[in-house]
Amino acid sequence: MDLFERVKQLRKEGAKAIESAATEKKLDEVRVKLMGRKGELTEILHAMKEIDPQHRREIGQEVNQLRDQFTERLDVSKKALVKKMVEQRLENERLDVTLPGRPVSLGTKHVVRILQDDLERFFIGMGYQVVQGPEIESEHYNFEMLNLPKDHPARDMQATFYIDDDHLLRSQTSPVQARTLEKHDFKKGPLKMISPGKVYRRDDDDATHSHQFAQMEGLVVDRHITMGDLKGTLESVAKHVFGQDRETRLRPSYFPFTEPSVEMDVSCFNCDGKGCAVCKYTGWIEVLGAGMVHPNVLENAGIDSNIYGGFAFGLGLDRFAILKYGVGDIRDFYTNDVRFLEQFRQEEN
Ligand code: FA5
């Protein structure tokens, strides 16, 4: 085929190839094929050496013209492809800002925490301060300061999780009593405090016992505090939490750090006091221990027990929650089934 024919054919084929390149990559391949160093136009230029000078000029003009033409078409095609790509991306990534947002599901407070917050407000309203104590406690505060010397048999009831010989996960919130008594300055007024928090025991877990649970300690020390003050306080707490109708009773008990000591029971929510498996067929569920602060506890903290006296109580927040909400098993508080926990959303305050 003579060179004129090749140019003519290349003009046709080149235009078609440029037109049908659907992507920028394909278009670039076409460019290289037509105009690259080893491309078809270059080949024609090389072949021009072999023809006579008169035709060479003519062909040269045609080839130049064709190169200009290809350059322009490639340019136009590239612009069109880029525009198409941008439009397509804009379309794909279109954001409808008018769509309603996805709802964020909010967690709820844990039911024991809800009760704790409620009781804190109740006691703050009666002039109590809220005090925190450590969960890893020394034997000194967990036992000794509370009138439980080493080898005292009552320690066995609370044999618990030891960290080392002198430290344990506190078995009760009562050590906060001792810590606060040591620091309190009675010249500034009486001591009225509560201390909520987690405690740990080697208890056999059942419907009303867990190896970890929450207590709220209470302590009032001043001159002339009587058992009547204790009884009135406990009854008003019980009425506040359980309403006027649920029955309560105080029963004599023993704690080394109070004398006399009592325990308060609330009538069983499950059987209304008739007796069932939840209350171990007694009709009552124990919710707190309490009593008049033992003189030794005051003296251990450097307070003259001839002048000052007081009452203390330690209530089980989980037990309160069980009774208030009719929960069949304390373990439901700790297995973290959100369906269980969400039921108390409306109690949140
Ligand atoms: C005490 O822990 C004393 N520190 C309470 C106290 C404080 C008495 C101040 C006097 C003065 P007790 O071991 O009875 O006492 O526990 C108190 C309350 O914690 C119980 O009434 C009960 O409501 C709760 N409780 C006890 N053991 C468990 C358990 N294993 N699981 C859940 N709640 C418990």
Mean pLDDT of successive 10-residue segments in the chain (349 residues)? 85 93 93 92 87 85 91 94 93 90 88 96 98 97 94 79 94 97 96 97 86 97 97 94 88 96 91 88 94 98 97 96 91 92 85
What is the whole-number distance in angstroms between the Cα of residue 288 and the centre of ligand 1?
A: 6
Give SS3 for 31.
helix
CB of residue 209 inside a 6 A radius of ligand 1: yes
Q: Do 60 and 180 sit in the same domain of this protein?
A: no
The angle, 0 to 180 degrees and rounded to 10, between the axes of the packed helices 227-242 and 111-125 is: 130
Q: Do 226 and 142 sit in the same domain of this protein?
A: yes
Q: Is 98 inside a domain boundary?
A: no
Structurally, the chain folds into a number of domains equal to 2
Q: Do 87 and 229 sit in the same domain of this protein?
A: no
Give dist(CA 173, CA 293) in Å, integer: 15
Q: Do 190 and 323 sit in the same domain of this protein?
A: yes
Q: Do 207 and 73 sit in the same domain of this protein?
A: no
State residue 159's pLDDT score.
Answer: 67
CB of residue 319 inside a 6 A radius of ligand 1: yes
Q: End of a domain among 31, 62, 92?
A: 92
CB of residue 294 inside a 6 A radius of ligand 1: no
Residue nearest to atom 15 of ligand 1 (CA): 289
State residue 1's pLDDT score.
Answer: 58
Q: Do 53 and 168 sit in the same domain of this protein?
A: no
Q: End of a domain among 30, 61, 92?
A: 92
CB of residue 291 inside a 6 A radius of ligand 1: yes
Whole-model pTM above 0.85?
A: no
CATH number at residue 254: 3.30.930.10
Residue nearest to atom 32 of ligand 1 (CA): 209
Residue 242: count other Cβ atoms within 10 Å of its Cβ. 18
What is the whole-number distance in angstroms between the Cα of residue 108 and the centre of ligand 1?
A: 27
Q: End of a domain among 92, 126, 149?
A: 92
Domain span at residue 21 reads 3-92
Q: Do 115 and 88 sit in the same domain of this protein?
A: no
CB of residue 241 inside a 6 A radius of ligand 1: no
What is the whole-number distance in angstroms between the Cα of residue 132 and the centre of ligand 1?
A: 17
DSSP symbol at 294: P
Read out DSSP for 108-170?
---HHHHHHHHHHHHHHHTTPEE----SEEEHHHHTGGGT--TT-GGGGGG---BSSSSEEE-
Q: Is 37 inside a domain boundary?
A: yes
Q: Is 99 inside a domain boundary?
A: no
Q: Do 148 and 187 sit in the same domain of this protein?
A: yes
